[in-house]
Chain A
Amino acid sequence: QKEVEQDPGPLSVPEGAIVSLNCTYSNSAFQYFMWYRQYSRKGPELLMYTYSSGNKEDGRFTAQVDKSSKYISLFIRDSQPSDSATYLCAITGEGYQGGKLIFGQGTELSVKP
Chain B
Amino acid sequence: GAVVSQHPSWVICKSGTSVKIECRSLDFQATTMFWYRQFPKQSLMLMATSNEGSKATYEQGVEKDKFLINHASLTLSTLTVTSAHPEDSSFYICSERGLVGDNEQFFGPGTRLTVL
Residue ranges of A at the interface with B (Cβ–Cβ < 8 Å)? 32, 34, 36, 41-46, 49, 51, 88, 90, 92, 94, 98-101, 103-106, 108
Contacts and interface: CB of A to CB of B under 8 A. Distances in A.
B91 interface: yes
B81 interface: no
B49 A98 contact: yes
Contacts, number: 57
Contacts of A106: 42-43
A56 to B, nearest CB: 13
B11 interface: no
Is chain A's binding surface mostly helix, strand, loop or mixed?
mixed
Nearest to B51: A98
A101 B34 CA distance: 10
Is chain B's binding surface mostly helix, strand, loop or mixed?
strand
B105 to A, nearest CB: 6
A44 B44 contact: yes
Contacts of A46: 1, 104-107
Contacts of B7: none
A58 B4 CA distance: 23
Nearest to B10: A41
A44 B103 contact: no
14 contacts: A32-B103, A36-B107, A41-B91, A41-B112, A43-B107, A43-B110, A44-B44, A45-B107, A46-B1, A49-B103, A90-B105, A98-B32, A98-B49, A103-B43
A105 B104 CA distance: 18
Contacts of B32: 98-99
A82 B97 CA distance: 27
Interface string B1-39: 100101000000000000000000000000010100000
Interface string B96-116: 010000011111111010000
Given A32-B103, A98-B32, A105 B110 contact: no
